[in-house]
Chain A
Amino acid sequence: MSGASTEIAVAPVTPLRIIILGATSAIAEATARLWAPGGARILLAGRNEARLNEIASDLKARGAAEAIDWPLDCASANASAELGKMVDRLGGLDILLLAYGVLGEQAELERDPAAAARLITTNFSSAAAWCLAATAVLEKQGAGTLLVIGSVAGDRGRRSNFIYGATKGGLALLVEGIAHKLAPLGARAVIIKPGFVDTPMTAAIANKGPLWAKPEAIAASIVRAGEKGGPEIYAPGFWRGIMIVIRNLPVAIFNKINI
């Protein structure tokens, strides 16, 4: 302690250290744009290096203290080993956002078991491995947040997309359990459940009605989830009400409607 301590102590503001898996997705990029002006240090993992590079330049212009390209196929990577390297690079982890996943076409997935297995591996098995690896890091730190993008499709199996829905439903259950485990340790996990989002994933759907949201709206919900709340949020929030209704429809009625 210095004797002439007249200076005012200012708590150092540490920039957020953020890892984004699937950083080239529309929702992930929109979210990173909201984090960047606060001077975050953001590690961008995804398959297309040129695209990661373009996103990184943009985030730096918007104020990110650092934007690191991390070319990687998240679905086939060794999650635990790779996450270790990422966390070392950032010197710790405040937020991990898991944003990759594929939608697939239900009819094709039902015909082709190999395609279904690939979708399940990408959306669930590999994602679960990353979630478990992240849990270990957050547990050790006693701080930090795991954010996982699920879907309202995971809330009830429907004929139009139950294979995709099952992977997102499984992920929701996994994240719920992780949140329960982390709660006493000071860390958090949140599953974010978007409804219909206007992204390249859904580009083939031509006329989008009033329930459709822009990636920017989902991004705002994700940023809030990074600050507080959980373990389950709907994005936009009105989907919570819609899904309460859908989940509670009696089977006799549910089986008659085509959704």
Chain B
Amino acid sequence: MSEPFVTRSDILSWGRVVRAPQRVATPRFRDELDKLLGAANGASLLPIGLRRSYGDSCLNDTGDLIDMSRVDRFIAFDPAQGILRAEAGTSFSEILRLIVPHGWFLPVTPGTRFVTLGGAIANDVHGKNHHRAGTFGRHVRALGLLRSDRGHLTLTPESDAALFASTIGGLGLTGIIEWAEIALVKTDSSSLEVETIPFENLDAFWSLADASTEKFEHTVAWVDCLSRGESLGRGIFSRGNWTPYGFHDAHDDKTWKRVVADAPEFLLNPLSIGAFNELYYRLHAGRPHTKLQHYVPFFYPLDAIHGWNRLYGRSGLLQYQCLVPRATEREAIRALLEEIAKEGQASFLAVLKTFGDVPASGLFSFPRAGTTLALDFPNRGAATLALLTRLDAIVRDAGGALYPAKDGRISREMFRLSFPRWQEFEKDPAMSSDFWRRVSA
């Protein structure tokens, strides 16, 4: 075959803001990776997965990308012990289809199942069960890493603790993750018993959160970020546990709805977003209720609309996810919501979740004890960026952190404040990304 890297203009991150063409190779087998390391001719490299990172941590416009999503085989599955070894490009969706009928589930999952195993490790993802299970990286028993300077390595948390801690949450910058072995969790069924509880303001959120983490494995809250005054921070709390009903039904991806074109941008204005928030709150605000839910609508509500990011139009969206530590969380979350409500630059999706104390394994792992707020804003250029900079200041004063997987804009200083151990990072000399060039410059 000819030149393995092809220049493509259809490779975007999930936020679809950065639109530079990217040079991409798409290997199918692990034995092609060595050759790709050699073929880069001094250009920097970055392995990528299904590109659900929002900003520019999965882009490399002055270098080359290695799209790992076709290196996606199961290597070994032990249905008795719940141990799975798979290639890095295997998606969570494929993993679930394999393991759920055997009574197993992913130990930790983000809000989309269209992420790869390698990407989940490289971003050390978290889920609604963070207060119990910590981050995904804690459940990685071993991984295969190909370094440009050290060749093929097998890492465990014990074998090379420093490089392991760099690779978990390492944004693909420590080498190419070739495969990983993870420990699954046993579940009694494939459904959860889910309680949905409206809360009228932030104080009510804190008491619900405090009351829920002990008894519920999964907790999360949606917040109407346009409400102000007395009802600042009103929203819908959702908490659930696996039911013991005994069905183990995997999902079927055939029923997706697909967004085939970019939505016109006039659909997204403060009025329509405000109306959506109001409607969403009222739909759920009637009274608390409990229902049985399959894992797909509970964990992956947005996956039902394939390509939902295109609803934000051609300009894309800017996601903002921050964390504020326990000591300052109450004042900081209030300040953040006040700033957003004042601005009127509404977000459809505002999610609040309290993180537990389970320490993360990676140097650049985002979660730590405290509360995280995630928002997405239609990209309106300078006005949106200015708002996010004001949010940065609140997060910085609170001693908080920003999430690299969601970012496309933070400064070097903010990155270093977020990840104070950055100097210990063992980057692969051949790897880089748009994100990395900004935060390391």
Chain A residues in the interface with B (C-beta under 8 A): 24, 26, 48, 50-51, 54-55, 57-58, 61-62, 200, 203-208
Determine if A57 and B1 form an interchain contact, defined as CB atoms under 8 angstroms apart. no
Determine if A57 and B75 form an interchain contact, defined as CB atoms under 8 angstroms apart. yes
Q: How far is the CA of A82 from the CA of B36 in the complex (A)?
A: 35
Determine if B73 and A58 form an interchain contact, defined as CB atoms under 8 angstroms apart. yes
Chain A residues whose C-beta falls within 8 Å of the C-beta of B7 in the assembled complex: 206
Output the residue of B6, B29, B70, B73 with the most chain A CB within 10 A.
Answer: B73
Chain A residues whose C-beta falls within 8 Å of the C-beta of B2 in the assembled complex: 204
Please judge, given known A-B contacts A204-B6, A206-B6, A207-B10, whether A62 and B31 are in contact too, CB under 8 Å: no
29 contacts between A and B (CB under 8 A): A26-B28, A48-B29, A48-B31, A50-B31, A51-B31, A54-B29, A54-B87, A57-B75, A58-B74, A58-B75, A61-B74, A61-B75, A61-B76, A62-B74, A200-B1, A200-B26, A200-B28, A203-B4, A203-B6, A203-B26, A204-B1, A204-B2, A204-B3, A206-B6, A206-B7, A207-B8, A207-B9, A207-B10, A208-B10
Identify the 7 closest CB pairs spanning chains A and B, nearest first: A61-B74, A58-B73, A61-B77, A58-B74, A206-B6, A51-B29, A206-B8
Whole-angstrom distance between the Cβ of B3 and the nearest chain A Cβ: 7
Q: How far is the CA of A51 from the CA of B29 in the complex (A)?
A: 7
Whole-angstrom distance between the Cβ of A247 and the nearest chain B Cβ: 29
Question: B98 contacts the other chain (Cβ, under 8 Å)?
Answer: yes
Q: How far is the CA of A245 from the CA of B2 in the complex (A)?
A: 33
Interface 1/0 per residue, B64-92 and A, CB below 8 Å: 00000010011111000000000100000
Q: How far is the CA of A197 from the CA of B75 in the complex (A)?
A: 26
Question: B326 contacts the other chain (Cβ, under 8 Å)?
Answer: no
Question: B330 contacts the other chain (Cβ, under 8 Å)?
Answer: no
The closest CB in chain A to the CB of B7 belongs to A206
Using C-beta atoms within 8 Å of the partner chain, give the interface range for chain B: 20 to 34
Question: B30 contacts the other chain (Cβ, under 8 Å)?
Answer: yes
The closest CB in chain B to the CB of A201 belongs to B1
Q: How far is the CA of A61 from the CA of B72 in the complex (A)?
A: 13
Determine if B98 and A62 form an interchain contact, defined as CB atoms under 8 angstroms apart. yes
Whole-angstrom distance between the Cβ of A64 and the nearest chain B Cβ: 11
The closest CB in chain B to the CB of A200 belongs to B28
Determine if B98 and A57 form an interchain contact, defined as CB atoms under 8 angstroms apart. no
Chain A residues whose C-beta falls within 8 Å of the C-beta of B10 in the assembled complex: 207-208
Chain A residues whose C-beta falls within 8 Å of the C-beta of B75 in the assembled complex: 54, 57-58, 61
The closest CB in chain B to the CB of A57 belongs to B75
Whole-angstrom distance between the Cβ of A151 and the nearest chain B Cβ: 18
The closest CB in chain A to the CB of B71 belongs to A54
Determine if B28 and A61 form an interchain contact, defined as CB atoms under 8 angstroms apart. no
Q: How far is the CA of A204 from the CA of B76 in the complex (A)?
A: 33
Chain B residues whose C-beta falls within 8 Å of the C-beta of A204 in the assembled complex: 1-3, 6
The closest CB in chain A to the CB of B74 belongs to A61
Please judge, given known A-B contacts A26-B28, A207-B8, A207-B9, whether A55 and B1 are in contact too, CB under 8 Å: no
Whole-angstrom distance between the Cβ of A205 and the nearest chain B Cβ: 8
Interface 1/0 per residue, B10-40 and A, CB below 8 Å: 1000000000000000101111000000000
Chain A residues whose C-beta falls within 8 Å of the C-beta of B87 in the assembled complex: 54
Whole-angstrom distance between the Cβ of B1 and the nearest chain A Cβ: 7
Chain B residues whose C-beta falls within 8 Å of the C-beta of A55 in the assembled complex: 73
Q: How far is the CA of A48 from the CA of B1 in the complex (A)?
A: 16
Whole-angstrom distance between the Cβ of B36 and the nearest chain A Cβ: 12
Q: How far is the CA of A247 from the CA of B395 in the complex (A)?
A: 65
Output the residue of B3, B4, B28 with the most chain A CB within 10 A.
Answer: B28
Q: How far is the CA of A24 from the CA of B32 in the complex (A)?
A: 13
Q: How far is the CA of A142 from the CA of B61 in the complex (A)?
A: 58
Whole-angstrom distance between the Cβ of A65 and the nearest chain B Cβ: 15
Question: Which of A50, A51, A57, A207 meets B74, CB within 8 Å?
Answer: A57
Question: Which of A61, A62, A203, A205 meets B1, CB within 8 Å?
Answer: A203
Determine if A57 and B6 form an interchain contact, defined as CB atoms under 8 angstroms apart. no
Output the residue of A24, A61, A208 with the most chain B CB within 10 A.
Answer: A61
The closest CB in chain B to the CB of A205 belongs to B6
Whole-angstrom distance between the Cβ of A48 and the nearest chain B Cβ: 8
Q: How far is the CA of A205 from the CA of B74 in the complex (A)?
A: 29
Whole-angstrom distance between the Cβ of A122 and the nearest chain B Cβ: 15
Whole-angstrom distance between the Cβ of B27 and the nearest chain A Cβ: 8
Chain A residues whose C-beta falls within 8 Å of the C-beta of B4 in the assembled complex: 203
Determine if B30 and A57 form an interchain contact, defined as CB atoms under 8 angstroms apart. no
Chain B residues whose C-beta falls within 8 Å of the C-beta of A62 in the assembled complex: 74, 98
Chain A residues whose C-beta falls within 8 Å of the C-beta of B98 in the assembled complex: 61-62
Q: How far is the CA of A62 from the CA of B90 in the complex (A)?
A: 13
Chain A residues whose C-beta falls within 8 Å of the C-beta of B74 in the assembled complex: 57-58, 61-62
Q: How far is the CA of A57 from the CA of B29 in the complex (A)?
A: 13
Known: A26-B70, A204-B1. 16 other contacts (CB 8 A): A24-B29, A48-B29, A51-B29, A54-B30, A54-B73, A54-B75, A61-B75, A200-B28, A203-B1, A203-B6, A203-B26, A204-B2, A204-B6, A206-B8, A206-B9, A207-B8
Q: How far is the CA of A84 from the CA of B213 in the complex (A)?
A: 64
Chain A residues whose C-beta falls within 8 Å of the C-beta of B70 in the assembled complex: 26
Chain B residues whose C-beta falls within 8 Å of the C-beta of A24 in the assembled complex: 29
Whole-angstrom distance between the Cβ of B75 and the nearest chain A Cβ: 6
Chain A residues whose C-beta falls within 8 Å of the C-beta of B6 in the assembled complex: 203-206
Please judge, given known A-B contacts A200-B1, A204-B6, A207-B10, whether A57 and B28 are in contact too, CB under 8 Å: no
- For chain B, residues 41 to 75, give those with C-beta under 8 angstroms from any C-beta of chain A: 70, 73-75
Output the residue of B4, B9, B74, B87 with the most chain A CB within 10 A.
Answer: B74
Chain B residues whose C-beta falls within 8 Å of the C-beta of A48 in the assembled complex: 29, 31
Q: How far is the CA of A185 from the CA of B138 in the complex (A)?
A: 59
Whole-angstrom distance between the Cβ of A19 and the nearest chain B Cβ: 20
Q: How far is the CA of A52 from the CA of B6 in the complex (A)?
A: 26
Q: How far is the CA of A25 from the CA of B70 in the complex (A)?
A: 12
Q: How far is the CA of A246 from the CA of B168 in the complex (A)?
A: 53
